[in-house]
Homo-oligomer: A and B are copies of this chain.
Amino acid sequence: MGSELLLLSNSTVHGMTYLEHAMSAIQEFLGDIRKVYFAPYALADYDDYTAKAQTVFEPLGISLVGLHTQEKPQEALKEAKALFVGGGNSFRLLKSLQQLNLLEVVRQRVEAGALRYMGSSAGTNMACPTLRTTNDMPIVQPDSFASFGLIPFQINPHYIEPDPRLVYMGETRKDRLEQFLEENDVAILGMREGAWLRRSGQKLYLNGTVGARLFRRQQESVEIEAGTDLSWLLDLPARFDQK
């Protein structure tokens, strides 16, 4: 048994309700698991965020338990079968995960096939080796940018092409990802809103309602359609801080 991951670019597709676009993928992913732990640390109000997520899971007969309600979140995760890490601010999320000492226990249990990991947006970024391709503002300072590292490449959630109507001189998303590649020799999958990745052991597929764009150092970026087998990305070397 290997890692079982469901990594959503985002939680809410325009015109749909929270997680609605990915419900069938979530049900397939969880199978007969009836209890999921929820990491709400990316937003400020943990109770409110957990209650929102519960409205999606409870109608499926799945109990969603906020990790913040547990006296010892690390102990809870040692027994958990599934973890959902919600979106929000990646820096705030990573800082909390570090302070609570949750990175190593999750990594070990996911890699052992004992814990299923589902993320959306910032929660998907956390599955990468680092948060270096987040879109979020660095509102707090984590000890390190290293995150769960459940895949060996980076994801850019909410990936979007620049709007040609916009009169804005700041960097486009593509500019930012190219800056990342100047400093790091690591592939980045720019996942559009509505896309998700499903890893099952050494198999990895892009799925969802839209595609993604793959960026690699000194290569033209390429379009990846929904349904594509991306298992080869699991074997790519990742070299950070390689100027």
Contact = CB atoms under 8 A, between A and B. Distances in A.
A169 interface: yes
Interface string A151-181: 0000001101001011111110000110110
A221 interface: no
A7 to B, nearest CB: 16
A179 B137 contact: yes
A137 B140 contact: no
Contacts of A54: none
Interface in A207-232: none
A76 interface: no
Given A136-B171, A193-B169, A92 B183 contact: yes
A24 interface: no
B139 A168 contact: no
| Main secondary structure on A side of the interface with B | loop
A3 interface: no
Contacts of A14: 167-169
B137 A169 contact: no
A134 interface: yes
Contacts of A130: 141
A120 to B, nearest CB: 11
A139 B182 CA distance: 9
A235 to B, nearest CB: 24
A55 B65 CA distance: 60
B180 A158 contact: no
B134 A169 contact: no
A141 B131 CA distance: 10
A145 B141 contact: yes
Contacts of A180: 137, 139
Contact of A163 (B145, B158, B163): B163
A157 B137 CA distance: 12
Contacts of A166: 163, 166
Given A163-B163, A165-B165, A139 B179 contact: yes
Contacts of A170: 10, 121, 135, 157-158, 160, 193
13 contacts: A44-B183, A89-B179, A121-B170, A131-B138, A132-B139, A134-B138, A135-B171, A137-B177, A158-B170, A160-B168, A166-B166, A169-B193, A170-B193
Task: Please provide the 4 A-B residue pairs with the shortest distance between their CB atoms, ordered closest to farther.
Answer: A158-B170, A137-B176, A139-B180, A44-B182
